[in-house]
Structure 1
Amino acid sequence: MSRLVRSARDRWGRLSRTSRFLIGTSSIGYLFYLWNKRDKQPSTKPVSLRKPAKGIFRVDSVGLGASMPFEQASSVWIETGKHEWFLSGVYAGYWGEGSATILGSQLLKSLNASLITLYSRSKQPDNRRVYQSFITAFTGLDDTLIKPVKILLKDDSAEGMRKNLAAILFGISYPGSGALATFFDSAVQRFHVALVGDSRAVLGRRRKTDDGKIMYDVHVLSEDQTVNNPQEVARLLAAHPNEPELLDRLFRDCGRKITRAFGDGMMKWSRDFQIWLRQNTLSDEPSPFCLTPPYLSAEPEVTTTDIHPGDFVILASRGLWNSLTNEEVVGLVGLWLDGDRHNKNVDILDKTGGHRTFERDSLPVILTDNGSESHYRRWPAAKKVFVNMEENAAVHLVKNAIGGADLDLVKALMKTHVPRAAQFHDDIYVCLDAAYKYTPMNSEYWHNLWPFFSSTTGTELQLIRQAIISFQIAGSG
């Protein structure tokens, strides 16, 4: 333990219980303030950033909601100081938007701060230390969502306001969220991907065949962390060897799909504390099968890939992959690039005919299955036939994921209001990063980032860091 942390911990211990309670309350109150500032109906309109950072040609993003509140978010962070790198992320929440909203506002900032500290010690750190920076940022922010509940509510000074305070805290600690965060180091053309949950990162790489044809190879950069992943199942069962039914009772039966998550406190707090919450606040009854928590972790799996000029990476929530295969998504982006759609402006909602359609086997990619296991089965007489009509690559993907060439179906799905929309498709969030040879960054793109992230001032960022430190010190006592 460093001298600074020991000193801070000692000072914390010397404070009165009332002072510790007030400091903790003000810190979590600030987190809640950030969450409460969110747009009640988050913008899902398309965003395109052209040459936002060294080595990045463009970034396209869009979201299509099927739930209210919209439980997904996306963010970017462009570091323009001593280091020139680019961070992006997609966050897929469940059972509420609280955790995903905090992640969208804070995760990349925490990751960037962790990386700056790392790179101040080593000009080019090895991958192992980069991975540790991801782990530190992820688990530290998850602690900020989960630990304050126990620290604050168990304090005697909370008497008389415990139920009200708990209701506020549960808004960000009860919901869960996955996170897919990336870090592109332009100095070495290296792309790091960290995953918690079931969003997915897939890279497409252009190549020319012997006969001169342009094709795109598919490289999957993350592995879904779900109950269908044998490695995740083995990890959970090894950690809880006397609970053979936990996958059914705590995951499948209650609709919990992912095996790692931020938030979702009822899968992390001890059973005794959950019983205490039930007796003293408006908390849920602990599951009779929740015997030895924690069952969920926010520790990510991290991979690294060297980037070639012309590569592109699709970051998307489960909703996209439930409708399209990895190969279809890469092939559709390849189709979009080869069709030069990024230099055209065509609105699909104004087109009633005359557009060219594309069958699956005409995509510039090698298909490995028939693509029949998808949400296309939910829609009457829907066939996987695609179109290439959009200026924004993310919009191009989303619309082909909800009907493609069947423009009547696309319009119907886009106009179906929540929550009924959830019968026909999941929440979808897509962020597409396209790499290119170095082009100087144009500073105007700093001003065009919304809705990628809600900006906060330097003072606010300092406060949130102080809040995180306060909880880590309090939790270590």
Structure 2
Amino acid sequence: MASQDVVYTSTENHAGFKIDVVQYQPTKRPIEDRFSVSTKSSNRLLLGVYDGHGGSHTAEHISNILPTALLSHPPEKHAQIFRETDHTMIRAFTRDHSLLRPKSKSSDWVHHAQVVRAGCTALILDIDVNTLIASYANAGDCRAVFYPPVDAEGHLRQTEDLNAKTPSEQQRLAQEHPGEDLVVVSGRLFGRLMSTRGFGDACYKLPHGTIGNWQHRRYIDALSAVKESGKIPMNSQYHAMFHTYRTPPYLTAAPEIGTMQLQKDSFVIMATDGLWDCVSSNDAVQIVRGGLEQEVDNLAEHLLHSVRATRAPGDDVTILLLHIIHT
């Protein structure tokens, strides 16, 4: 494996849980993925993967603040915390650009704009260490695959990828924006963005104003002021990007939630879509099982190495692999 492409590897042990991590960067730009491993006393273990796009600011911010917020409340509050976190970010930005208020100090308003201009999906797994009940919250198209399966037919348990190509997401958007036929074009939101759930991406969430999208244009001007170097600013292509922008928000940070019962010797693969573009869930599980038989040191790195042997990822890859070694 080309060492210059693997930007991070680690192995941690937490009270009977082995967590292997690998991050891979196939492009010259800085990696936009982030991850988190957090604990609360000895009772809860929380893992997160965050797939950034349009820059790394949102993923960096969310990976730092979301785990603490989630661990401050019971898992039943996951969906609420996701929504409130995103709302707080958007509100901080809009208050900076209100006609009736002065901006925050320069470092703050720039940060507020950066973390909502870019975006990220988020998948978290919150494990009760005593019961091995795992609560997940998924806002986007990162995926968690659980092994072993529980049904008699051997079907894998996994989260659903939620993006503009997902039929259920297309149906949701059609119901929330009736009569708007160009919300999803060629499997992308407005023909541009794959994400339909996640944090940031304020350009598709901000109000438009009553006449001529005047309010939205003001916000886009502000977001364009903190654009990534080398990219065309949004305000210079406003009409092309937003000529059908009518009833925001078009993205939501609300996650799909659920629970899984884990057990001794089970494992969970959590990864950004850069991995799942290259390998099926079933094949990934078989690779990890082979790694367990071979007693490899880092199962996440073993999975990445095996996938790259047959197909080179074209996007950033972050893999967290949780293995329950004893209870």
TM-score (norm 1): 0.59
Match for residue 225 of structure 1? 162
Match for residue 247 of structure 2? 292
Q: 8 Å contact 1:206–1:310 — kept in the other structure?
A: no
Q: Specify whether residues 164 and 291 from structure 1 end up closer, same or farther in structure 2 by C-alpha distance, changes over 3 A only.
A: farther
Q: What amino acid sits opposite 2:9 in the alignment?
A: P
Q: Does 1:265 align with 2:202?
A: yes
Following superposition, the deviation at residue 228 of structure 1 comes to 2.1
Q: Deviations over 1:233-289 (max 9, x none)?
A: 111100000202210189356431121110000010011231233567746335111
Match for residue 61 of structure 1? 21
Q: Deviations over 1:308-349 (max 9, x none)?
A: 2111000000011111110110000100111222xxxxxxxx
Q: Specify whether residues 204 and 275 from structure 1 end up closer, same or farther in structure 2 by C-alpha distance, changes over 3 A only.
A: same
Q: 8 Å contact 1:218–1:330 — kept in the other structure?
A: no
Q: How does 1:69-468 map to 2 (within 5 A)?
A: 69-80=30-41, 84-115=43-74, 130-131=75-76, 133-158=77-102, 167-205=110-148, 219-248=156-185, 251=188, 254-272=191-209, 273-278=215-220, 282=224, 284-285=234-235, 286=238, 287-341=242-296, 391-403=297-309, 425-438=314-327
For the residues of structure 1 that align with 2:187 and 2:280, how far apart are their CA atoms? 28
Sequence identity percentage: 24
Gaps of 5+ in 1: 1-40, 116-129, 208-215, 342-390, 414-423, 439-477
For the residues of structure 1 that align with 2:180 and 2:66, how far apart are their CA atoms? 33
Larger gyration radius, structure 1 or structure 2: 1
Superposed CA RMSD in Å reads 2.9
Q: Specify whether residues 425 and 139 from structure 1 end up closer, same or farther in structure 2 by C-alpha distance, changes over 3 A only.
A: same
Q: Specify whether residues 69 and 296 from structure 1 end up closer, same or farther in structure 2 by C-alpha distance, changes over 3 A only.
A: same
Q: Specify whether residues 278 and 297 from structure 1 end up closer, same or farther in structure 2 by C-alpha distance, changes over 3 A only.
A: closer
Following superposition, the deviation at residue 42 of structure 1 comes to 12
For the residues of structure 2 that align with 1:400 and 1:86, how far apart are their CA atoms? 28
Partner secondary structure for residue 271 of structure 1? coil
Q: 8 Å contact 2:273–2:317 — kept in the other structure?
A: yes
Q: 8 Å contact 1:193–1:221 — kept in the other structure?
A: no
Following superposition, the deviation at residue 93 of structure 1 comes to 0.6
Gaps of 5+ in 2: 210-214, 226-233
Partner secondary structure for residue 35 of structure 2? strand
Q: Specify whether residues 217 and 393 from structure 1 end up closer, same or farther in structure 2 by C-alpha distance, changes over 3 A only.
A: farther
Following superposition, the deviation at residue 167 of structure 1 comes to 4.4
Partner secondary structure for residue 7 of structure 2? coil
Partner secondary structure for residue 147 of structure 2? strand
Following superposition, the deviation at residue 158 of structure 1 comes to 2.5
For the residues of structure 1 that align with 2:39 and 2:155, how far apart are their CA atoms? 27
Name which of 44, 47, 50 aligns with 2:10.
47
Q: Which has the higher helix share?
A: 1
Q: 8 Å contact 1:206–1:311 — kept in the other structure?
A: no
Q: Deviations over 1:46-82 (max 9, x none)?
A: 10013x13x52x00001001342211011111121xx
Q: Specify whether residues 226 and 101 from structure 1 end up closer, same or farther in structure 2 by C-alpha distance, changes over 3 A only.
A: same
Q: 8 Å contact 1:179–1:197 — kept in the other structure?
A: yes
Partner secondary structure for residue 269 of structure 1? coil
Q: 8 Å contact 1:163–1:282 — kept in the other structure?
A: no
Following superposition, the deviation at residue 44 of structure 1 comes to 2.6
Q: Deviations over 1:374-403 (max 9, x none)?
A: xxxxxxxxxxxxxxxxx2111111111212
Match for residue 359 of structure 1? none
Q: What amino acid sits opposite 1:186 in the alignment?
A: V
For the residues of structure 1 that align with 2:108 and 2:126, how far apart are their CA atoms? 36
Q: 8 Å contact 1:227–1:259 — kept in the other structure?
A: yes
Partner secondary structure for residue 44 of structure 1? strand
TM-score (norm 2): 0.84
Count, aligned residues: 304
Following superposition, the deviation at residue 219 of structure 1 comes to 2.2
Q: Specify whether residues 64 and 324 from structure 1 end up closer, same or farther in structure 2 by C-alpha distance, changes over 3 A only.
A: same
Q: 8 Å contact 1:146–1:265 — kept in the other structure?
A: yes
Q: Specify whether residues 241 and 206 from structure 1 end up closer, same or farther in structure 2 by C-alpha distance, changes over 3 A only.
A: closer
Following superposition, the deviation at residue 170 of structure 1 comes to 2.2
Q: Specify whether residues 217 and 203 from structure 1 end up closer, same or farther in structure 2 by C-alpha distance, changes over 3 A only.
A: farther
Q: 8 Å contact 2:5–2:24 — kept in the other structure?
A: no
For the residues of structure 2 that align with 1:225 and 1:256, how far apart are their CA atoms? 13
Q: Which has the higher strand share?
A: 2
